[in-house]
Amino acid sequence: MTDDRTRRIVFTGAAGGIGTMTRPLLAPLYPGLVLSDRVEPTDLQPGETFVKADLTRPDEVAAAVKGAYGVIHLGGHSVEGSWEQILNANIIGCYNLFEEARKAGVKRIVFASSNHAVGFYPRKRRIGTDVTVRPDSRYGVSKAFGEALGALYADKHGMIVTCLRIGNVGPRPIDTRRLSIWISPEDIVQLFRIGLEHPDIRFDILYGVSDNAASWWDNSRARQLGYRPTGKGEDHRAHAEAEQARIGPDPIGDVFQGGTFTSAEFTGDPKRAGP
Ligand code: 15L
């Protein structure tokens, strides 16, 4: 175990879906892990430490990140929402997190960005992490904002920032779109570890995706940093296709990587949304 792993690592959004799936995997790796959220997880285990913090409250965020070496920042609103919800949880909340972390001398932040920062790329295009953002929702815009904030804090304040454009975390892909973007809990923990420990990161954007044959993303930078995903979406194709048959077609969402996030509230011309 490196020294870094014994230090205080704050995990925001720990009571949410990804937090619940990854907490048991992170606990043995990071003895200094501190869970944080607006509400305490209902299944808090003996030995787990919890600090309550509302991201819109700078004082509460400051108390949570005090003395931390690193932060895994999953907190915020995790799907599309009203402007007010997104503004508070993902814009103001994300700013409070980075700024209070800076003031507290936090060295590393792993930021949960999302595939929805680039959701309007068509499925027929393979994209890397260097493409212009094409958010598919207010939520996607907030994730692009978080990536930009991460770049600012890396360039201006020397923080080590890793943004993970997460696909969909779960035990297996739940429809055919997720065959391309699915990531297992074990694989996302590998990416958290790279963000918290790898010596060669300054600012990076990586795709949070398993080793899926149907992937739309070039994740070579993650591989260069040692990422060796073990999940394979193809192993679950039959299940994903059976689920897809129950969902039915979405003429706009099926064209774009972001799926239903692109078709929701859509009033444009799908042809002009373009290649
Ligand atoms: C996300 O960013 C969401 O947090 C998650 O709930 C899923 O909707 C996922 O994207 C997805 O695209 O499947």
pLDDT in tens, 8-54: 999 999 999 999 999 999 999 999 999 999 999 999 998 899 999 99
Give the confidence band of 3 by pLDDT, cuts at 50, 70, 90: low
Q: Does residue 2 register a pLDDT over 70?
A: no
139 is catalytic: yes
* pLDDT (mean) for 127-149: 98
What is the chain's mean pLDDT, rounded? 96
Query: Apex CA 26: angle with CA 153 and CA 119, to 5°?
Result: 55
Q: Does residue 79 register a pLDDT over 70?
A: yes
Report CA(114)–ligand 1 centroid distance (Å): 7
Atom nearest to 166 CA in ligand 1: 2
Q: Does residue 250 register a pLDDT over 70?
A: yes
Residue of 71, 149, 77 whose CA lies nearest to 116: 77
pLDDT at 271: 83
Structure tokens at 232: 């394979």
pLDDT at 6: 83
Q: Is the dihedral of CA 54, 58, 62, 68 positive or negative?
A: positive
Q: Which residues contact 73 (CB under 8 A, 6 or more apart)?
A: 12, 13, 94, 97, 109, 110, 111, 112
**Choice among 42-56, 134-148, 204-218, 261-275 with the minimum mean pLDDT:** 261-275
pLDDT at 5: 66
- Ligand 1 pocket (Cβ < 6 Å) reads 78-79, 114-116, 168
Q: pLDDT digits over 82-99, tens only?
A: 999 999 999 999 999 999
- Asked if residues 173 and 240 have their Cβ atoms less than 8 Å apart, the reply is yes
- Name the residue of 74, 80, 86, 115 to mutate for ligand 1: max ligand atoms within 8 A of Cβ: 115
DSSP sequence for 113-130: EEGGGSTTSBTT--B-TT
Distance CA 234, CA 84 (A): 39
State the DSSP code for 56: T
Distance CA 212, CA 178 (A): 9
Give the confidence band of 1 by pLDDT, cuts at 50, 70, 90: very low
Report CA(168)–ligand 1 centroid distance (Å): 5
H/E element holding 186? helix 185-197
- Name the residue of 22, 74, 116, 262 to mutate for ligand 1: max ligand atoms within 8 A of Cβ: 116
Report CA(1)–ligand 1 centroid distance (Å): 32
- Name the residue of 20, 114, 250 to mutate for ligand 1: max ligand atoms within 8 A of Cβ: 114
